[in-house]
Amino acid sequence: MSAEKFQNPVVRWIDHRLPVFSMLDHEKYDYPVPKNLNYMWNFGVLAGMALAIMIVTGIVLAMSYTAHVDYAFESVERIMRDVNHGWLIRYIHMNTASFFFIVVYIHILRGLYYGSYKAPRELLWILGVVIFLLMMATAFMGYVLPWGQMSFWGATVITNLFSAIPIVGDSIVTLLWGGFSVDNATLNRFFSLHYLLPFVISGVVVLHIVALHRFGSNNPIGIDASGPQDTISFHPYYTIKDMVGIAVFLLLLAMTVFFFPNAMGHPDNYIPANALQTPAHIVPEWYFLPFYAILRAVPDKLGGVLLMFGAIAVLFILPWLDKSPVRSARFRPLFRIFFWLFLIDAILLGYLGGKPAEGIYVTLSRIATAWYFLHFLVILPLLSMFETTKPLPKSISEPVLGSSGRSA
């Protein structure tokens, strides 16, 4: 990398010894991006932004938060009432957690629809699923920190999942708790890990991006760029497009923070934790509901736990379940129908996870759970064998510029 391209002598001096400016420049101008990306490609940047907001607000919250069973609830109330702008910072942290999941779910669905998990992007996809798992662990432990009734009972139910493991289950649960129930030791270690994991996530995000830049972004057509006429530079074209998405994201986030800050939370978490009384109806945070529905759909304890974790595990092997060489759903008429059915199924599971486990809800949960696994384990493999796909365009430019596609 030649440092001569920089005008500023200080920049040039630094870049010669530590080529950070060259690296940034390289990402901004030299990195070719398909020219046909739509707004679905905004959500990666939005997820990164949500992570940054979580880390900044979290570090500030930690300055006034006390991780002790006797003080945690009150320290959060103090943040809400007495600490300058504490209410704002906490509401941003709380609601950005929800927005983070909305953004990541759309990001994942984008990948499912356009086949972004297929070769050569399998590891990129798997790193994404790792980030998703880490996010779930982080959010779960964060929700325990305010030490309300939902914090306590959510922690109790979720840690008890591990007691389903034969033989060593109970010892594992005792190890997780550091005692004989969810208690001070549990709260302390959850705080420690809640502080740590977002930085682990940041590390995996870096790997995710390294893997992305190996082959570049997929695109709505799902075919590889055939040359420079199919790509444009990231800056200024996609930085501008991302700004539009960021503006909308921040607008919606601000609206929620200022006008509906508790809409996505549960009122019971404003009742201090009580180890002797379980709330009448316990539910996890909304973003866990589909998985919670799968857990409860199975009448057997171990079976329920295995299926719940299995629902995420199938995502890891997805690149090998869907072997169709055509990536984008645009050219896969049947796959497209099943994609939308899957989305409906996932939303239905989310709805059922929030309902009491009785009567018709249980039956529906079982059907929806069965469909979830059928989709991945049976339908996708069969489709990739028998589906007749539509003809692919010759290049990214062709559908827009006519058959030559070269005039670009």
Of the residues 74, 300, 320, 325, which one makes contact with another protein according to CB under 8 A? 300
| Least distance (Å) between residue 194 CB and ligand HEM | 6
CA-wise closest residue to 176 among 137, 214, 150: 137
Report the chain's terminal Cα–Cα distance, integer Å.
Answer: 29
The question of whether 242 is a catalytic residue gets the answer yes
**Counting contacts by CB under 6 A, is residue 194 touching ligand HEM?**
yes
> Which one of another protein, ligand HEM, none is in contact with 55 (Cβ closer than 5 to 8 A by kind)?
ligand HEM
Place of tokens 């991945």: 376
274 phi-psi bin (left φ>0, alpha ψ -120 to 50, beta other): beta
Measured CA to CA, the distance from residue 29 to residue 36 in angstroms comes to: 17
- The secondary structure of residue 234, as a DSSP letter, is I
Interface stretch with another protein, choices 46-54, 150-158, 203-211, 393-401 (CB under 8 A): 150-158
235-294 residues in contact with ligand HEM (CB under 6 A) are: 265
| Least distance (Å) between residue 325 CB and ligand HEM | 36
The question of whether 285 is a catalytic residue gets the answer yes
> Which stretches does DSSP call E strand in 117-249?
231-233
Measured CA to CA, the distance from residue 317 to residue 118 in angstroms comes to: 11
Q: State the DSSP H helix or E strand holding residue 25, giving kind and residue range, or none if neither.
A: helix 20-25
The question of whether 28 is a catalytic residue gets the answer no
Q: Extract long-range pairs of 117-123: CB within 8 Å, 24+ residues apart.
A: 117/318, 117/319, 117/322, 118/319, 118/322, 118/325, 118/327, 119/319, 120/214, 120/215, 121/211, 121/212, 121/215, 121/218, 122/319, 123/211
3-state secondary structure (DSSP) of residue 34: strand
Q: Which position among 241, 266, 355, 375 bears the catalytic label?
A: 241
Q: How many residues bind another protein (CB under 8 A)?
A: 33
Q: Which position among 217, 324, 328, 395 bears the catalytic label?
A: 217
Measured CA to CA, the distance from residue 91 to residue 239 in angstroms comes to: 28
The question of whether 217 is a catalytic residue gets the answer yes
> Which one of another protein, ligand HEM, none is in contact with 63 (Cβ closer than 5 to 8 A by kind)?
none
Interface stretch with ligand HEM, choices 23-31, 56-64, 233-241, 316-324 (CB under 6 A): 56-64
The question of whether 241 is a catalytic residue gets the answer yes
**Counting contacts by CB under 8 A, is residue 68 touching another protein?**
no
Q: Which position among 15, 285, 322, 398 bears the catalytic label?
A: 285
> Which one of ligand HEM, another protein, none is in contact with 195 (Cβ closer than 5 to 8 A by kind)?
ligand HEM
Compare residues 164 and 317 and give the one whose CB is closer to another protein: 164
> Which one of another protein, ligand HEM, none is in contact with 245 (Cβ closer than 5 to 8 A by kind)?
none
Interface stretch with ligand HEM, choices 23-31, 190-198, 255-263, 272-280 (CB under 6 A): 190-198
**Counting contacts by CB under 8 A, is residue 36 touching another protein?**
no
**Counting contacts by CB under 8 A, is residue 161 touching another protein?**
yes
Measured CA to CA, the distance from residue 251 to residue 256 in angstroms comes to: 9
Measured CA to CA, the distance from residue 80 to residue 87 in angstroms comes to: 4
The residue ranges that bind ligand HEM (CB under 6 A) are 51, 54-55, 58-59, 61-62, 65, 76, 90, 93-94, 97, 100, 135, 138-139, 142-143, 145-146, 194-195, 198, 201, 265
